Amino acid sequence: MTASPEFFQTASKAQQEQFFQRSKEWLEDRHGKENVITTTIHRDETTPHMVAYVVPLAWNDKKKKETLNARHFLGGREKLSEMQTSFHEKVKDLGLDRGVHKSSATHTSIKEFYSKIQTPTPKLKDVAKEIDFPEPKFLESKESYGERVARTVWNSACDNLENEYLKSTVNDYSKLEKESKEDKNKINSLENKITKLNKEIELNKEGNDLIKKINSLPENEAKAFINLLDRKVRENQEERCRNFMSSHTESMSKSENKQGFSMKR
């Protein structure tokens, strides 16, 4: 997520920090705070930008639960346009303008871009030749290299928010996602992780509720309750230790009996 180079050239450091903070808040409002896994601000390139990893969960009426659905947020011209308008509402008081909806812009480089997309659409392999893809670094992981390639492609198109190439790429990705077994495995893995995280969240909530209840008790009752919990924990640990030793001793005894029987034979 980024703004125009002109914004970063004139904005104060505080304004830039506020822009990225609001960008993160906008993502959290749109997807849910728990679904924004991480965000990173990159300032080592011409235009500073924020990379965000978001789990696109949306309610599935058929399955009666939330499932991964990128198309729900990005599919179609209207949704992309709504997304740009919504984000602009979040940051417009920082001095940022949203391009006039569905109009030809007056900026020279964008005018050149629009003149290009009015010509017959080139084949994908011809477009790819125009992008200067980065070379993989020594011992760089596939995930890291994939992120750099994606960022390079994005930066090549970031001045063209309405460009048809990006939209077709989103649609192509959605189709490939359905057809790819590997992607399905990744989706299942993510759903399992989300389920585990939700369970951990519930456990944390239960723990927090218990702490609140203890804190609400009179001091002497709270101490007595905590002592009782400590005793129960110790008893449970001792019981588990005794069971382990008993099981281990029994296993060793059976092993020795087998060896003795073998030697007698």
- Kindly report, residue by residue over 217-254, the tens digit of the pLDDT: 788 877 777 787 778 778 877 787 777 777 767 666 66
Asked if residue 139 has pLDDT above 70, the reply is yes
pLDDT in tens, 154-183: 766 554 444 555 566 666 666 666 666 676
pLDDT at 160: 46
C-alpha neighbours within 13 Å on the C-beta side of residue 4: 17
Mean pLDDT, residues 54-74 taken together: 86
pLDDT range class, residue 153, cuts 50, 70, 90: confident
* AA letter at 196: K
Mean pLDDT, residues 200-219 taken together: 74
pLDDT in tens, 21-54: 999 999 999 988 998 988 899 988 778 999 999 8
Q: Does 241 or 20 have the greater pLDDT score?
A: 20
pLDDT at 147: 82
| Cβ atoms of residues 67 and 19 within 8 Å | no
Q: Quick one: which of 100, 97, 95, 86 has its CA closest to 23?
A: 86
Q: Does 26 or 76 have the greater pLDDT score?
A: 26
The model's pTM is 0.38
pLDDT at 206: 72
| Cβ atoms of residues 28 and 34 within 8 Å | no
Asked if residue 116 has pLDDT above 80, the reply is no
Range 218-227 burial, b when 16+ CB lie within 10 A, else e: eeeeeeeeee
Lowest-pLDDT range of 118-122, 149-153, 184-188, 228-232: 118-122
Mean pLDDT, residues 198-226 taken together: 75
Q: What is the dihedral of CA 192, 186, 27, 166, to 10 degrees?
A: -160
